[in-house]
C-alpha cells in the first residue's frame, strides 16, 4: 500500500507540471505544459548571415507578459539573439526572428531561453558550408610534336557541403593565351557538383608548328565562386609525349600505350573520404583509354588509375579502399600500405592494359632504411606478384611511382632492399671483360707475334734437348744417366763420369 501511495503522488506531481521533462539536447528544457517550440527555418549556411525563425507556444493556463526569449548556443554569432514578447495568451503562438551567422556546419540544436523559466527546445537546424569550387589537378603533356593531337584533362572539386552551381551552372573553360595550340570546345558545361564531390573534364587540343602553349583553366559557378589554374606544353619536333600534372592529379609515366595522357570521360566523378575513393564513369567505349586523377591521394596512396577497355561499358563504379590488413600472407619485404580496388560493371577480362600511379612517403623510406628504387607495387592473385614499377616524380614529402598491372584486385606498396654488392661485382666483371676486349683490339697483332716467337723458342729447346740426351747414351753405352754430370754451361756440352761405389761384405766379420 505504501508503494502504491508513492506512485500516485508522483503521477500527481507530473500532472500538475511541477516536474520538467527534457525532450532533447537543450538544458533545462521546458515541459509540454510550459512552452513548446517549432522551427520555421530548416537550413542555414556557414559564414552567411541569415534569419532563424522559430514559433513559441504558451502551454500554460495563464497569459504571460514581458517574456524575454533568448537564442542559446555556441554554433553562431548573432546580431539579434533576443526578442521580448510583450504578451502571450494561454495557447497562443508567437513567431520570433533571430539574425545570426553560423560558424559551424552540421546539425545544430536550437534552444530558446524563456525568461529564465525554462528552455524551449526547437529541434535542430541544418547548417551547410558554402560551396567552394577549386581545381585540384590540371594535366598537360610536357612536350608534343608539331601538329600533334593531344588531351588536356582536369579535375574540379566542391569543398563545401552546399551544392555548387545551384544558381548558376558550373562551367570550365580552357584557353591558350599564347595562341600556339587550337582547343576544340573550350568551354565545358558541368552543371552542379555536390557535397565534397569532384568532376573530371578533358579537352582535345592540336599543337601548332612551334613554341609553347600556355593554358589557363577557369572554373566558375554560383554558389561556388571561381578558381584558375595554369599549365604549359612545349611543341618540339624531336619530342615524344610525356604528361605533367599540377595539384593532386598525376600525369603518370611512360608505358601502357596512351594511358599516361588518357583523360577521364565526361561526367566522371571522384569522391574521397576516410581511406576510400569512389570513382563513377557514365560510359567508356571499346578501345578507349580512361585516366582518372584521385583527389586526396593521401587517404589511399593512389594518385591515378588508367585503363583501356575492349568493349563498350556503362555505369562503371571503381572503389579504392585503404586496408590495415588483408588476411593473406604478407609479401616479401616491408609493406607500407595495402590497397584494394573493387570493380563494378567492369572486370579484368574487359581491360587490355592498366596503370596505377601511387605514392610512398619519403619519411617512411628514410625511417626504414630504404632507397626510392627499393619500392614496388605487389598484386595478389593466388599469391603475391611484383608488378613492373618505375619512379614517375617526387615532392618534398612523397616519391611517385607508376606500375603496370593486368587487372585490379588487392595490392601492397612494399619495399625490398636491393643487393648492391652483387650489382657492383657484376659491373666490375663487365668492366674487366670490356677492358680485355679493348686490349685485344689495340694490340692483337703484337700479342700473336709474341706467342709465335715463344713457340719457336720452346720448340728449339725441346728438340735440341732430346738430341743431346741421345748423344750421351750413345757415347756411354749402358751407364746410368745418373752417374754422369752434364755440363751445358758452355756452348757445347761436356761430360764427366763418376762410377757408383758398390758395397762389399767380408766373410766372417765386419
- What pLDDT score does 455 carry? 77
Q: What is the reported pLDDT for 375?
A: 95
* Chain segment 106-162, per-residue pLDDT in tens: 889 999 999 999 999 998 998 888 889 999 888 888 888 888 888 898 999 998 888
Pick the CATH number of 130-247 from 3.30.930.10, 3.30.70.1560, 2.60.40.10, 3.40.50.2000: 2.60.40.10
Predicted confidence (pLDDT) per residue in 81-107, tens digit: 899 999 999 999 999 999 999 988 888
Q: Note whether 21-128 and 130-247 share their fold.
A: yes
CATH topology (fold) of 21-128: Immunoglobulin-like (2.60.40)
CA–CA distance, 58 with 73 (Å, rounded to integer): 22
Asked if 122 contacts 110 with a C-beta cutoff of 8 angstroms, the reply is yes
pLDDT higher than threshold 90 for residue 10: no
478 burial type by CB count under 10 A (0-12 exposed, 13-18 middle, 19+ buried)? exposed
Q: What percent of the chain has pLDDT over 90?
A: 45
Rounded mean pLDDT, 473-500: 50
Backbone angles phi and psi of 294, in degrees to 5: -100, 125
Cis ω for the linkage preceding 223 (within 30 of 0): yes
Binned at pLDDT 50, 70 and 90, residue 73 comes out as confident
pLDDT band at 432 (very low <50, low <70, confident <90, very high): low
Q: What is the pLDDT of residues 50-66, one digit of tens each?
A: 999 999 999 999 999 99
Residue 407 main-chain phi, psi, to 5 deg: 180, -175
pLDDT of residue 484: 46
| pLDDT value of residue 47 | 83
Mean pLDDT score, 387-391: 93
Count CB-CB contacts under 10 A for residue 462.
9
User: The pTM is what?
Assistant: 0.42
Which of 21-25, 211-215, 268-272, 391-395 has the weakest average pLDDT? Answer: 21-25
Give me the residue spans of the domains in the chain. Answer: 21-128, 130-247, 259-418, 421-497
CATH number attached to the domain at 259-418: 2.60.220
What value does the mean pLDDT take over residues 428-453? 63
CA distance 320 to 304: 11
pLDDT at position 445 is 65
Pairing of strands 289-293, 276-284: unpaired
pLDDT band at 315 (very low <50, low <70, confident <90, very high): very high
Output DSSP code: residue 210.
Answer: S
Amino acid at each position: 500500500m505504501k508503494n502504491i501511495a508513492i506512485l500516485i503522488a508522483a503521477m500527481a506531481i507530473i500532472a500538475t507540471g511541477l516536474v520538467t521533462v527534457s525532450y532533447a539536447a537543450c538544458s533545462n528544457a521546458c515541459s509540454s505544459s510550459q512552452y513548446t517550440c517549432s522551427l520555421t527555418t530548416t537550413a542555414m549556411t556557414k559564414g552567411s548571415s541569415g534569419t532563424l525563425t522559430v514559433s513559441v507556444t504558451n502551454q500554460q493556463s495563464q497569459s504571460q507578459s514581458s517574456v524575454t526569449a533568448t537564442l542559446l548556443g555556441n554554433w553562431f554569432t548573432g546580431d539579434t539573439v533576443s526578442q521580448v514578447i510583450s504578451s502571450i495568451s494561454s495557447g497562443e503562438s508567437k513567431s520570433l526572428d533571430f539574425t545570426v551567422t553560423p560558424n559551424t556546419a552540421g546539425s545544430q540544436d536550437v534552444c530558446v531561453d524563456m525568461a529564465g523559466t525554462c528552455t524551449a527546445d526547437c529541434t535542430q537546424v541544418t547548417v551547410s558550408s558554402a560551396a567552394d569550387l577549386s581545381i585540384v589537378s590540371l594535366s598537360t603533356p610536357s612536350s608534343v610534336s608539331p601538329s600533334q593531337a593531344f588531351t588536356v584533362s582536369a579535375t574540379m572539386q566542391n569543398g563545401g557541403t552546399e551544392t555548387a552551381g545551384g544558381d548558376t551552372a558550373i562551367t570550365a573553360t580552357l584557353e591558350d593565351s599564347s595562341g600556339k595550340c587550337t582547343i576544340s570546345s573550350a568551354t565545358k558545361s558541368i552543371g552542379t557538383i555536390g557535397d565534397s564531390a569532384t568532376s573530371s573534364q578533358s579537352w582535345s587540343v592540336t599543337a601548332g608548328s612551334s613554341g609553347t602553349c600556355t593554358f589557363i583553366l577557369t572554373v566558375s559557378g554560383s554558389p561556388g565562386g571561381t578558381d584558375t589554374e595554369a599549365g604549359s606544353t612545349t611543341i618540339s619536333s624531336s619530342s615524344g609525349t610525356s604528361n605533367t600534372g599540377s595539384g593532386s592529379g598525376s600525369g603518370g609515366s611512360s608505358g601502357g600505350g596512351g594511358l599516361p595522357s588518357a583523360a577521364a570521360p565526361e561526367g566522371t566523378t571522384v569522391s574521397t573520404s576516410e581511406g576510400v575513393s569512389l570513382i563513377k564513369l557514365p560510359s567508356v567505349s571499346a578501345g578507349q583509354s580512361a585516366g582518372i586523377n584521385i583527389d586526396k591521394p593521401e587517404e589511399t596512396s593512389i594518385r591515378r588509375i588508367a585503363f583501356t577497355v575492349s568493349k563498350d561499358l556503362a555505369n562503371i563504379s571503381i572503389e579504392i579502399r585503404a586496408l590495415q590488413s588483408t588476411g593473406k600472407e604478407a609479401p616479401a619485404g616491408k609493406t607500407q600500405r595495402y590497397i584494394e580496388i573493387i570493380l563494378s560493371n567492369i572486370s579484368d577480362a574487359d581491360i587490355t592494359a592498366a596503370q596505377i600511379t601511387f605514392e610512398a612517403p619519403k619519411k617512411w623510406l628514410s625511417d626504414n632504411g630504404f632507397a626510392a628504387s627499393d619500392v614496388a607495387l605487389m598484386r595478389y592473385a593466388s599469391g603475391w606478384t611484383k608488378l613492373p614499377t618505375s619512379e614517375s616524380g617526387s615532392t618534398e614529402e612523397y616519391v611517385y611511382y607508376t606500375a603496370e598491372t593486368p587487372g585490379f584486385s588487392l595490392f601492397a606498396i612494399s619495399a625490398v632492399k636491393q643487393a648492391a654488392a652483387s650489382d657492383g661485382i657484376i659491373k666490375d666483371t663487365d668492366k674487366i671483360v670490356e677492358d680485355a676486349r679493348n686490349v685485344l683490339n689495340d694490340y692483337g697483332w703484337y700479342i700473336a707475334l709474341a706467342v709465335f716467337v715463344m713457340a719457336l723458342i720452346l720448340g728449339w729447346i725441346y728438340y735440341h734437348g732430346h738430341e743431346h740426351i741421345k748423344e750421351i747414351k750413345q757415347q756411354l753405352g749402358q751407364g746410368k744417366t745418373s752417374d754422369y754430370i752434364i755440363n751445358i754451361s758452355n756452348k757445347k756440352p761436356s761430360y764427366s763420369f763418376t762410377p757408383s761405389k758398390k758395397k762389399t761384405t767380408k766373410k766372417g766379420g765386419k
